Amino acid sequence: MNRKGILQGVAAYALWGFFPIYWKLLHDVPALQLLGHRIGWSFLLLLAVIWVTRQWADFRSTLNPRVFRIYSVAAILIGVNWLIYVWSVNAGFIVETSLGYFINPLLSVLMGVFFLRERLRAMQWLPVVLAAIGVTYLTIAYGRLPWIALSLAFSFGFYGLVKKLAPLGSLYGLTLETGILFLPALAYLGWAEADNTGAFLHSSVTANLLMIGAGVVTTIPLLLFASAARQIPLSTIGILQYLAPTIQFLIGVFIFKEEFDHSRLIGFGIVWLALIIFWVENYFGRRVPIEPIPELGEG
């Protein structure tokens, strides 16, 4: 197996896993402004990558009304996902965000069944049912529906579903998605500035650089993942994708000291058991696991 590809995949998911620390450094900036900066700087950086690598003509040739319609839906979904993620991290719900990305592959299985008419073997239903039990248990334990985890899982799951039908690769796709959101993001940031609530250039030098860097931290793991995906099997990528929520979970519990009591351990344990069964069944069933499109990573 390609060692370079594996290292690139590990690097991509590890960077996504450490995202909470990055966003925590900007906890004083409103989530909507962080989203605006992430979209804006990502779009400009991706355009620069396409321009420097002389892919501009090829990129333009892929654009047509059908492509715009597909990626407009994708843009809305990933924008919602990013907003919920950033807000949740800075509101102290890192552990719950990790739950969303743990259950996402199992949700993608259900989407494949209901929307793509894919069939599951009998044993493949067991982890899906277990995950539902785990979420139900956590709902009781939290005293509320774990809406953050479910919102992240559903938005990213539907995003993955749309991307399965989308014609562009990861670089062109994300460029178009951020491009579609660019003007609304710029308009919002302009309104915040006019309203004297804008954070950019009114914060510390470090905070300003981190807001600009939001584009870099979005683009670098994407490019690493895109390179890894060309070199290693999808089954390996499917396993690596759990690196990101695992790191997020550990960061939430051990660095930011979020609550993780016995009842939450039981709920998460049920979900983890479901994932173990899912992968073991796929291994012995000699099938490539059904997985979400992970090209943007978690958050």
The span from the CA of 175 to the CA of 215, in Å, is: 11
The span from the CA of 5 to the CA of 1, in Å, is: 8
**Helical residues (DSSP H) of 53-92, grouped into ranges:** 56-61, 65-90
The span from the CA of 209 to the CA of 217, in Å, is: 12
**Sequence-ordered list of residues with C-beta below 8 angstroms from that of 286, at least 6 positions apart, any chain:** none
Please state the domain extents for the chain: 3-284
The span from the CA of 232 to the CA of 246, in Å, is: 21
The span from the CA of 292 to the CA of 106, in Å, is: 9
Residue 242 DSSP symbol = T
The span from the CA of 256 to the CA of 172, in Å, is: 36
Q: Which pLDDT score, from 0 to 100, does residue 291 have?
A: 47
Residue-wise pLDDT for 52-67, tens only, equals: 999 999 999 999 999 9
Q: For the packed helices 170-194 and 65-90, what is the interaxial angle rounded to 10 degrees?
A: 60
pLDDT in tens, the chain (299 residues): 578 888 998 999 999 999 999 999 999 999 999 999 999 999 999 999 999 999 999 999 999 999 999 999 999 999 999 999 999 999 999 999 999 999 988 888 888 888 878 787 888 889 989 999 999 999 998 888 999 999 999 999 899 889 888 899 888 999 999 999 999 999 999 999 999 999 999 999 999 999 999 999 999 998 888 788 778 776 677 778 889 999 999 999 999 999 999 999 999 999 999 999 988 887 776 544 444 444 545 56
Q: Which pLDDT score, from 0 to 100, does residue 298 have?
A: 57
Residue-wise pLDDT for 29-46, tens only, equals: 999 999 999 999 999 999
Looking up tokens 């900066």, which residue turns up?
37
Q: Which pLDDT score, from 0 to 100, does residue 290 have?
A: 45
Residue 90: Cβ-neighbour burial (10 angstroms; 0-12, 13-18, 19+): buried
